[in-house]
Structure formats: structure tokens, C-alpha cells
Structure 1
């Protein structure tokens, strides 16, 4: 469908117009998402071995206070793209803490500010929050524990957008819908991917339904994705119901190996859920107990990374300080040479990550140890068949400087040449 944005929509929010662009994907895309025959056909998710908490909000604070502005920004305005009916308000008018460690996003049938929407005078207010400019993540476990509202026309969602949306637009930015629910399906939630050639009604996804006609509005549930290079897996309360890889896209572009930011919102009406009717009771609330993003090495491989002249990749002096050089050194069995190549795209030692200094991508960028932060500087692809260890954003190899086998020789990024000083064998 064509995108139309009113000039006043989402005032005062950096990247807000970009964020609004992705909203058009929701209604038709998730409605058309295929459903698995049964959720039990896919095994339950295993417990993650958490290595780092990259983002967490437990919404602690006095009742009535606004969310932490260091973590979230509040979007304001209407949304013509989906023909939603609400006006998103600022501050704590429709998004506030309840004093019990929870965020409450409230949709009301009201218009206290004489707000104007695409269809005239707005009939409803609600709230939408995002972490753009405050937090982004590439890979890991992303989850929110929430209790959704109920009623015709309600449309709560927890989702993510590619942080490059301001440069490449939507859907090239990619969109990961962790959870969407529409009021006319009280027992069902949807998880969907949107990207170039599979956006809107062509989104790739699936649905999960509670057994026995239970409603998601009756209790809190945990909605999550486990995200690794070229793979995203959805779960509800630990029950996995779909996994998607580039093979599911029929040759179309996979745009999910880069940083994304988080979004929480409660929409009212729109193409997919339909508008509220006489059965809908207001106010309605989306209650969020926590949002958490962690990185995990679950399923990863550990050992030494042996390279030039049989020597090992080593953290200089076993120093855990940020910026410690990563070098070539004679293998000695120490923890400074024990690496985990994780399923989340990280390579870790001493509790920290292999990192391209200053997120550099040029030949000669030094490689160091740094706190794990989910950035592209810490995203690596290891190919055991060819012994290549490649920094994904740079598309360059981990290289021993000047092909020098001496102890203490620094490592760097360099254009992949297949030479011996770029070969690393993971030995358990």
C-alpha cells in the first residue's frame, strides 16, 4: 500500500518518521502469516547460558512517573499508514509506571488536547515508545513479559526496526515483530519478518495459540526471539513456535544481520484489527513487566583459535581491561587463549568480546578485547571449513600483522586473501 505521512505525525522524535514508515507492515502482513500445524511440533526452547545483559528495564519507579528517558523516547502523533485511530501522546499521559515494577500503556477513548488525526478529530489516545538513538542490538535473546489488553480494535505489539531505516528506508531496513495481537484473536499472537520483497501482506511469519481457548489478556506471558546470524527463532513462555532463516525467503534479501532498535506500542484500530465497536470497553492497558536483551553463547563452540605457525589467538597479559590488544602467542592453555565462538555472532574470552577498534572497517583496524555490546564491531562469522574468521560489517578477515609469527604480534582486520596469517582453526 502507498505510504502517506502527515507533516505533524510523530513530532519531536529523532528517526520518528522512519519509525512510522515501518508501521504500515503490520496489519496485512501478520494477518496473512502462516500458522504451524501445532506449536508442540517444535521442541521447547532450551535455557540460555546468559553471558551479558545488554539492555534491561524493570520499570521500577514511583506510580505515575514517566519511563526512563535514557532508555526510551516517546513518539507522538497519529498513523495514517495503517489507518489507526489513536493519537500517541507525550510524557506520562498514556505511558507511565504503576509503582509495582511495571509499565502501563493505556488506550483511552478521549481527546483532551483537541488532537487532529488523518480522519479528523482524534477519537482515542495511546502511547508508543522506542529505543532509537539510545539502544540497538545485533543478535541475542530479546524478550518482554507482558499482559495484553482485550477487545475489538486493540493492537498491542513488541517489535524491532533496523537502525539504518533513516538511510535505506522501509522495508529495506528490516522489521522483526516479536509479538503482535489483535483483539478479535484473544488466544493468538503473531511473529513476523518484513523486508524487501516480503513486506506488508507478504511478511514471513507464524502464529501461536494458547491451548483450551485461554486468552492472552488473562495473564502475563513472555514473548521472545533468539536471534543469531542468519537465524531467528520465536517463542512464547519458552515454547518455540517458528524459526526463520534466509532459506525461507525464496532468494529475497535477508536484512537481519545488523543493529535493530526496540518498539513497544498499543494501537487502536487499523486495517488489520478493525476499529473498536460497541463491545469494546475503554480504557484498555498493555502492562509490561520487563524488557530484557541478553547475549548468549548457547550452542557455541569453545577452544583455542590456532593460527600462524601453530600459535594461538591470545589476550595480551590476560588483561580484561577494555582495549587490551588481541595478539598471536605460543599456545599455553591459559584462559587468555580460551575462546567461545557463539551462536550470537560473538567471539569471547575472559567474559568479553573480540572487537574491531572504534568499529573500524578499514584494512589495518586493530582487534582488541571489549565489553560485549551487540555492535557490528563484535559480529564475526567463523567458517570451520576454510578456517576464516570474518568481521561481518567490514567483510574482512582476522589477520596477523605483517605475517609475523613472533609472540606478541598484534592482530588486525584485513581484506581476505586466503593467506596463512588469516587462518584460524578452532581446537577444543
Structure 2
């Protein structure tokens, strides 16, 4: 979820970051090599038809979305529709239907927010849209991506944001642990006319350890892990896309007498292309594989991808990140992010939590996945078990007598 933020503008090409942060050098890593299209929506439906439900779903509600936004997001074609001319139309309207209640009372505005979560996500590549943004004080259109539901730990990439009080400026930003909200790191480009006067293409090219932003094919900002001042780079797993038009909020401010309604964002297309190594550096890999729970379909995960000793392993939505890759070692250990799966305190009793610890040669750190799908601690001869049969993100793991139940069954993924 986006929060209020302070962005650092770059007038033409690249932003200069303050507070000890520096803009990424072109020598930091190879640029992305872009392959074929992996996903697209050209919005060629009939006039007033709904969006393609196989590609998008809706966020609905008037919670303020962490930003004190004023709109209620609906799934109505009054707010989100195809216009019959090859466009998606997301329209913010000034209206207050009695059944739309916002965090501040009866809503004054409705709008739309659609996302590809659970439909499509991808790691690396080119993410691009052709958009004619709306205009006006307090109007806040965006094309952006999230890396999961655990914000900011799983990351956010803002491909395009505009606030109505700055009609000529596009902003691109990343958020992650230690650089979220007002600490988000980004750049911008200002052109000689209002962005809402015409369609423009907004894109990022994302490859291992590098994200580059483009307006109409011209680069204006790039970022690498060196840009984060020592904070964690979390852009190494699947992200999904979001399109929305917010009304009001801490950053853009609020509509005033100069703001006219309705305001519509037109999207000509959204296209995603693959990343290929182009003969250069391949994506980072631990050489391991994910371990998916047969009970919940979620994967064994290192919380926040933070490889600190004692981190309690959990279940989380499978996302292909290195925090969910477990490599079997010749000594019988299972290793993730360079450390070992471990029974806490070296205990072997029922209920012992499963954690991450520096590999130390202790035989209690040996685990094996049987042909039957049991993840067995060799020393204890007990199974890795989903505690309390909890199927939610964040479910904890423990040792327990092997019983053949689904909360003890695991599949390589």
C-alpha cells in the first residue's frame, strides 16, 4: 500500500539523491535485455464493458488506503470500464452514494483501483503502459507494482505517479524496509506541457540489481542496491501491477474549487516483456528450490528475507524469491540465504520451533525430504509441521511426530 512520501525530482535524466544516497552509476550492473511479451491487455472490449476478469481484479473500499485518500473504490463500470475505442477508462467522480462509507464519513468521491494480484506476476522484465492521465488539484493517478502483501518488506515499485498540483511531472519511486513512506527513494522528470494533454508511455526495465525508469522511451532515473544506503534490496521476486486514480491524500493534497469532476485516466495498453540475460549476468540464484505446503499451498519463507540468526521460519505466498529457496547440502543441511534450517535451541521435542541459524556442523541441523513428502529432522526423527493447522501467511513451523497429515506434507516447487 502506498504511503505519503517525499520524492526527489530530476528535471531531465537522473535524480541526485541526498542524505548520503547517490544515483546509480551505469557501471553498477548490466541493463536489462528485453525479450518477448509475456502478458498484455489492449482493452479492445465493447463500449462500457467491464475489464477482463482473467487479467484483473478490484480493490474495493474507502479505508483511506494509508494515505488519507478521500475516494471509495468500486467495481462499477461507472468507475472502471472499457470505452469501446481501445482504452481502459478509470474515472473519479464526485458523488456520495449512501452505501459508500469512507474512513472520514460519507464518501464524497468514487473511483477505481484494479490489480493483477493472483492473476499475473513476474520477476524482471519491462513493464509499460500508454496512459493519458487525468488533471486537477488533488487528483492522483498511478501505475505501480507490489511484491506481496507484507508492505514494505516485500517491496513496491512505482512506475508512474502524478499529483495534480504538478501537472508536468512524472515520479518514479521504490519502497522497501528502511526506505518506505516519506523515505521512499525516487526520481522524476518534468516536461514542457501537462502530461494529461496527451498519451505518454511510462515504463520500467527491471533486471537483477537494477531498475530503470522511462518516459516516452527516454531514461530519467535508475537505482541499484548501492543507492539504498545499506538498506535491503527486495526487488528479486515476483511483483504484480496496479492501476488506480486516487482523490486526495497527504501527498497530493485535496480537491478545491479549481478541481473539476469527473476525471478519467485513459490507458491504451499495458504490456509486460520478459527479461533475458542477453549473454550477460544471469538472475541471482541459490541453486535451491521452494518447499510448498500441501496443506496451504504456501512456501517455507525467511521473514523479510532477513537472514538473521534465530529468524523463525514461516509460511508465505510462494513468490520465487531467494528467501524461499532451500538448497540441500552434502552435509545433510537445508540452506537458505546462506544459513541453515535449524530446530530452535537444538531441541528435538514436539513443539520445537523451526528457525534459521548459521550452519555450525551440529547434526541437529540435518533435514531430509522423503519420497512421501515428509520433511524430517534426521536427529529427532520428527517432521516439520504447520503449527495449529494455520493456513494463513505468517504461519509458524515446528517439529512434531510424523503423522502423515497434510500439514506435514511438502512438495518441491
* 1:394 is the counterpart of 2:290: no
Q: Determine the C-alpha separation between the residues in 2 that align with 1:153 and 1:289.
A: 23
TM-score, length basis structure 1: 0.63
Question: 1:193 matched to which residue of 2?
Answer: 174
Number of corresponding residues: 299
Given that 2:50 and 2:81 are in contact with CA atoms closer than 8 Å, whether structure 1 keeps it comes out as yes
Does the CA-based 8 Å contact 2:288-2:325 persist in structure 1? Answer: no
Do structure 1's residue 216 and structure 2's residue 216 form an aligned pair? no
Compared with structure 1, are the counterparts of its residues 113 and 58 closer, same or farther at alpha carbon in structure 2 (3 Å cutoff)?
farther
1:47 CA drift (Å)? 11
1:145 maps to 2:76: no
Q: Which residues in structure 2 correspond to 1:8-47 (within 5 Å)? A: 22-23=1-2, 25=3, 27=4, 29=5, 32-36=6-10, 38-39=12-13
For residues 270 and 105 of structure 1, the distance between their equivalents in structure 2, rounded to whole angstroms, comes to 18
Q: Distance in 1 between matches of 2:236 and 2:14?
A: 29
**Separation in structure 2 between the aligned mates of residue 359 and residue 50 of structure 1, nearest angstrom:** 30
Cα offset, 1:376, TM superposition: 6.2
SS at match of 2:143: strand
Q: 1:54 maps to which residue?
A: 38
Q: 1:269 to 1:414 in 2, by over 3 A?
A: closer
**The one of 173, 183, 192 aligned to 1:202:** 183
Gaps of 5+ in 1: 1-21, 302-340, 347-353, 363-374, 380-390, 402-412, 417-428
Change in Cα spacing, 1:207 to 1:145, as seen in structure 2 (3 Å) is: same
Counterpart selection for 2:96 from 111, 133, 142: 111
Which residue of 55, 58, 68 maps to 1:83? 68
**Which structure: greater helix fraction?**
1
The answer to whether the Cα contact below 8 Å between 2:289 and 2:327 also exists between their aligned partners in 1 is no
Whether 2:257 is the aligned partner of 1:278: answer yes
For 1:161, the equivalent position in structure 2 comes to 146
Deviations, residues 225-259 of structure 1 (Å, cap 9, x unaligned):
11111111111111111111111111111111111
Q: 1:271 to 1:376 in 2, by over 3 A?
A: closer
TM-score (norm 2): 0.65
Deviation sequence 1:371-403 (CA, Å, 0-9, x none): xxxx966x8xxxxxxxxxxx7852649x9x9xx
Which region of structure 1 is more displaced relative to structure 2, 89-98 or 61-70? 89-98
Question: 2:165 corresponds to which residue?
Answer: 184
